[in-house]
Amino acid sequence: MQDYIVRATAVSGKVRAYAARTTALVEELRRRHGTWPVATAALGRTVTAAAMMGAMLKGTERLTVQIRGSGPLGEIVADADAAGYVRGYVREPRVDLPLNAAGKLDVASAVGEGFLHVIKDLGLREPYRGSVPLISGEIGEDFAYYFAVSEQIPSGVGVGVLVEPPDRVKQAGGFIVQLFPGLPEEEVARLEEAIARLPAVTTLLDRGLTPEELLQSMVPDVQLLDRVPVSFRCRCSRERMERVLVALGRDELESLYREQGGAEIHCHFCAEIYRFSREELQRLIERAAEAGEKR
Quote the CA–CA distance of 111 and 125 in Å, as a whole number. 32
Report if residue 219 touches Zn ion, rule: CB under 5 A: no
Contacts (Cβ under 8 Å, ≥6 apart) of 206: 162, 170, 171
- For residues 154 and 177, what is the distance between their CA atoms, to the nearest angstrom? 9
Interface residue with Zn ion, options 234, 253, 281, 285 (CB under 5 A): 234
CA atoms of 138 and 116, how far apart (whole Å): 12
Kindly state the smallest distance separating residue 237's Cβ from Zn ion, in Å.
8
Asked whether position 78 contacts Zn ion by CB under 5 A, the answer is no
Contact between 90 and Zn ion by CB under 5 A: the answer reads: no
Edge-first strand order for the sheet with 4-10 is 155-164, 168-179, 15-21, 4-10, 223-229
Residues contacting 291, CB < 8 A, separation 6+? 246
236 binding Zn ion? (CB under 5 A): yes
Distance of closest approach, residue 274 Cβ to Zn ion, in angstroms: 9
| Cβ-based nearer residue to Zn ion, 35 or 216 | 35
Contact 149, 116 (CB under 8 A): no
Alpha-carbon gap, residue 65 to 147, rounded angstroms:
13
**61 vs 272, beta carbon nearer Zn ion:** 272
Binding piece for Zn ion, criterion CB under 5 A, among 194-202, 203-211, 238-246, 272-280? 272-280
Shortest Å distance, C-beta 86 to Zn ion: 12
**Smallest distance, Zn ion to C-beta of residue 88, A:** 11
Specify the 3-state DSSP secondary structure of 173. strand
Q: Which of 73, 76, 161, 267 binds Zn ion (CB under 5 A)?
A: 267
Which secondary structure element, helix H or strand E, spans residue 247, and what is its range? helix 238-248
Among residues 89, 232, 269, 276, the one that binds Zn ion under rule CB under 5 A: 269
Rule CB under 5 A: say whether 232 interacts with Zn ion: no
Does position 51 bind Zn ion by CB under 5 A? no
d(CA 226, CA 217): 17
Task: Tell me which residues in 137-156 interact with Zn ion (CB under 5 A).
Answer: none
Q: CB 265 → Zn ion: shortest distance, Å?
A: 10
Instruction: Output the smallest distance, CB 239 to Zn ion, in A.
Output: 12
Out of 270, 284, 285, 288, the residue judged to bind Zn ion by CB under 5 A: 270
| Bridge partners, residue 76, by sequence | 67, 90
Site residues for Zn ion per CB under 5 A: 234, 236, 267, 269-270, 272
